[in-house]
Amino acid sequence: MTTTITPCLWFDNNLEEAAQFYTTVFPNSEIEGFTRLTDAGPESSGEVVYGTFVLDGNRFLGINGGSEFRFTEAVSFEVRCADQDEVDHYWSALVDGGEESQCGWLKDRYGLSWQIVPERLYELIEDPDPARSAAATAAMMGMRKIVVAELEAAVAAV
């Protein structure tokens, strides 16, 4: 038996728009399909009820549940980036219409929280030298979008 775990996201009746947006941001992404109401449904025929989409190989289920529940920062998705170019790409795409937070976190236009994190950040904050680790951590705490050059400068100053 193979068990899979698929994140299920509750959207405020904008699942189709959100899935189309997310699949343009991430490579290796696609919309698998949407299930729409029929004439027998309680709402307008043709409206999306739920659907599945893949973001860079990761499958998601989305539900058009309405405004009763909202996304919170209690759940976020981390995007591990190889370099600053990737950080810049994902940050600018996902924050467009959303809002910046701190330490590499943002909320996108749908209210979903993301952490856009360069791999180098982990290398620096996990440095075995406590002074270098503290310098990297302090620099990160003062940032919204993580900037690798600023992290490197903070560590070099130690």
CATH of domain 1-69: 3.10.180.10
Question: Per residue in 78-99, is it b (16+ CB within 10 Å) or e — as a string?
Answer: ebebeebebbeebbeebbeebe
Residue range(s) of every CATH 3.10.180.10 domain in the chain: 1-69, 71-158
pTM: 0.92
pLDDT of residue 143: 98
**pLDDT (tens digit per residue) in 74-88:** 999 999 999 999 999
pLDDT of residue 41: 56
Give the whole-angstrom CA distance, residue 31 versus residue 19: 7
CATH of domain 71-158: 3.10.180.10
